[in-house]
A and B are shown apart, each in its own frame.
Chain A
Amino acid sequence: MTALVDEELLERAPHDNSLPRVTPHRTAEITSHLRTPKTLWCPGCSNGIVTRALIDAVLALDLNDDRTCVIAGIGCAGRITAYLNWSTVHTAHGRALAVATGAKAADPGLNVIVVMGDGDCVAIGGNHLIHAARRNIDVTAVVFNNSIYGMTGGQMSPTTFEGDVSTTSVYGNVEQAFDICELARAAGATYVARGTSYNYQRLAQLIAGGIAHKGFSFVEAMVACPTYYGRQNGIPTPADMLKMQKARAVPVEKFDSEGPRLRDRYPVGVLHHAERQEYTAAYADVVRRSQEPPRD
């Protein structure tokens, strides 16, 4: 596992001290954790980038492969389950967090990572997001947010912005987009972060930080969908979409805003980090108390 980048350079590179250090791995090492590197994702789709960042994050934390499982919903992001070589579950649409809740509760020693698209997470899956966050159950949710429904051909999503064109908003979307990080935070998530596919190093660190955090971790990964979002909204190339991420992402410590994040300007980094009792730990206490002999 040779490091790609000069160690000296890495030492000088700015990074968030509170996040785990992630040393990106060689492509061969990355693909050794895939059943196949030949994915069905479109040319320029960032899903492959975020998949790589996820693998780098897991490797950085030196997690036991056998005890790591990825539970994903339906959509382009969900297809990650066919590619990753760890235990994976491809659930019904929107239900990944509920399935993950059952798996983690039944076996709290599992490292559970939940991958969802934006529609899977906050449209059909919205209720389960709210309650997984409320319970503060120790799973890491990574949302591949491309602001569109890709798999079904380019319909709008709850994270599509006002004015955006999609196949179900041909006159321009009239609905406000969710700030899904705010949603997760308000519901009780104790680690909330947002990163972009453009800033790979930071994204991998944010995911690693989420996995390492004991509690409900929520990482929003900004993903480019050139085929549907890009083409319908006049963005010529995948590279342009990544550049737009660079232009729009503002490190959270420099971001000040009174309202929800906009399409054109949003905070990235660790947006929220708190500690409160995690669900499976709290339930272990229930088990203990239920087995105490009854008092007189």
Chain B
Amino acid sequence: MAAAGPSLEQVAAIGDGPMKETPAKAKSRAPEAVVVDADLCKACGICITLCPTDVFDRDDFGRPVVARLADCTLCAFCERHCPDFAIDIVRVGDNA
């Protein structure tokens, strides 16, 4: 039958929890904004759970709310892994 792999608990531990310290250099990369399009968002929770610095909180509908923008390192994991193209990261100095 099924081969033993990582347990769900082990999987759950991956990428969980914020970095203990945000490096100064990373702080300088914090974007101007992380914009979430609530109309496109399907509340899948990928961005909230997998953000390495725990930038997001969850609203009543399960959608992400930017709670700690200063901790964002602009890794862009949320933007790229949003299956619904709902996240747009606005960089400092963007005139887009």
Option from B39, B46, B76 in Cβ contact (under 8 Å) with A5: B76
Most buried by B among A4, A34, A162: A4
Any A CB within 8 A of the CB of B50: yes
Tell whether, in the assembled complex, residue B11 and residue A26 are in contact, meaning their CB atoms are under 8 Å apart.
Answer: no
B45 touches A237 (CB 8 A): yes
**B3-19 CB contacts (< 8 Å) to partner A:** 3-6, 8, 10-12, 14-15
A28 and B40 contact, CB distance less than 8 A = no
Q: Which of A223-251 contact B (CB under 8 A)?
A: 226, 234-240, 242-244, 246-248
Is B81 within 8 A of A200, CB to CB?
yes
Nearest B residue to A56 via CB reads B80
Check if B69 is an interface residue, CB within 8 A of chain A. no
Instruction: Please give the distance in Å from B40's CB to the nearest CB on chain A.
Output: 6
Min CB distance A183 to B, Å, is: 20
Q: Is A38 an interface residue (CB 8 A)?
A: yes
Q: Do B15 and A52 have beta carbons less than 8 Å apart?
A: no
Q: State A44–B41 Cα separation when bound (angstroms).
A: 10
B46 touches A238 (CB 8 A): yes
B interface, size bucket: 35 or more
- Interface status of B24 (Cβ within 8 A of chain A): no
> Which residue from chain B places its CB closest to the CB of A46 in the assembled complex?
B83
Is B53 at the interface (CB under 8 A from chain A)?
A: no
Bound together, the chains give a CA A247 to CA B45 distance in angstroms of 19
Distance A24 CA – B14 CA, assembled complex (angstroms): 24
Is A48 interfacial (CB-CB < 8 Å)?
yes
How many angstroms between the C-alpha atoms of A235 and B75 in the bound complex? 26
Interface pair A162/B1, CB less than 8 Å apart: yes
- Residue A31 is within 8 A (CB to CB) of chain B in the complex: yes
Given contacts A27-B88, A239-B49, contact A49 B81 (CB under 8 A): yes
Q: A49 — which chain B residues lie within 8 A by C-beta?
A: 80-83
Q: Are B43 and A43 in contact (CB under 8 A)?
A: yes
* Nearest-neighbor residue (CB-CB) of A27 within chain B: B88
B1 and A27 form a contact (CB under 8 A)? no
User: With A2-B96, A243-B15, A262-B3 in contact, do A48 and B50 touch (Cβ < 8 Å)?
Assistant: no
Instruction: Check if A24 sits within 8 Å of B76, measured CB to CB.
Output: yes
Once bound together, how far apart are the Cα atoms of A263 and B50, in whole Å?
22
- Report the minimal beta-carbon distance from B95 to chain A, rounded to whole angstroms: 10
A158-199 vs B, Cβ < 8 Å mask (1 yes, 0 no): 000111100000001000000000000000000000000110
Residue-by-residue, is B48-84 near A (CB-CB < 8 Å gives 1, otherwise 0)? Answer: 1110000000000000000000000011110111111
Chain B residues contacting A239 (CB-CB under 8 Å) are: 44-46, 48-50
CA distance A188 to B5 in the complex (A): 32
List the interface of chain A (C-beta within 8 A of B).
2, 4-6, 24, 26-28, 30-31, 34, 37-39, 41-49, 52, 161-164, 172, 197-198, 200-201, 226, 234-240, 242-244, 246-248, 262-265
Write 8 A-B pairs (CB below 8 A) sorted by A numbering: A4-B80, A27-B82, A49-B80, A52-B80, A162-B2, A226-B44, A237-B45, A242-B50
Q: Which residues of B contact A (CB under 8 A)?
A: 1-6, 8, 10-12, 14-15, 29, 39-40, 42-46, 48-50, 74-77, 79-89, 91, 94, 96
List 14 other contacts, CB 8 Å, given A5-B74, A237-B44.
Answer: A2-B96, A31-B85, A43-B43, A49-B83, A52-B80, A163-B2, A235-B8, A238-B45, A239-B48, A243-B14, A247-B6, A247-B10, A263-B5, A264-B3
